[in-house]
């Protein structure tokens, strides 16, 4: 298991963030962390605003002093495995994979390895530091198709937000 990553920040909420929710403002000010992670820190008391514990929905006024003393949720130590990948596109932020039918996306019960995630870790070892190795969506084992995978924390956050936004379109 990897060592726990400690996070310590001191910041002041800019005046132009007045009337925004605390969790939304912090996710903008700290783009390396997901809103879900920030909400978990708020719930656990790891984030204090002017020395007080606050809820995620707290409205800001601007000028608040925020201190964060938290740890990042640890990801399992998945094994990198040399499994061929069909790469459709890759740049410094994302990689698009054409997943064949029969390949499981994430390790899980009955499929501890030989998954797309294991193959991605072999191709890009740095993905071990991202939640789910940067995979933002999945396809069933017997389904083939394109999967977009984030290579950076900022790309993961952006792609997740974009995917969530498209799910609300009717």
Q: Which two tokens stand for residue 89?
A: 């596109």
How many C-beta atoms surround the C-beta of residue 16 within 10 A? 9
**Residue 110 backbone class (left: φ over 0; alpha: ψ -120 to 50; beta: rest):** left
Active site residue 140: yes
Classify the C-alpha dihedral 54-30-67-70 as positive or negative. Answer: positive
Q: Which two tokens stand for residue 166?
A: 């498209």
Task: List, by residue number, the catalytic residues.
Answer: 140
């Amino acid at each position: 298991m990897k060592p726990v990553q400690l996070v310590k920040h001191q910041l002041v909420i800019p005046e132009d963030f007045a009337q925004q929710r605390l969790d939304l403002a912090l996710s903008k000010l700290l783009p390396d962390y997901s809103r879900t992670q920030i909400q978990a820190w708020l719930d656990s008391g790891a984030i204090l605003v002017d020395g007080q514990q606050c809820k995620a929905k707290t409205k800001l006024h601007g000028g608040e002093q925020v201190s964060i003393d938290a740890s990042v949720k640890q990801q399992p130590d998945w094994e990198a495995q040399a499994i061929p990948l069909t790469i459709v596109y890759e740049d410094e932020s994302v990689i698009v994979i054409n997943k064949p039918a029969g390949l499981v996306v994430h390790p899980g019960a009955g499929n501890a390895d030989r998954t797309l995630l294991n193959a991605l870790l072999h191709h890009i070892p740095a993905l071990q530091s991202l939640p789910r190795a940067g995979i933002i969506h999945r396809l069933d084992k017997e389904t083939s198709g394109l999967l977009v995978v984030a290579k950076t924390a900022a790309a993961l956050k952006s792609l997740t937000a974009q995917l969530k936004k498209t799910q609300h379109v009717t």
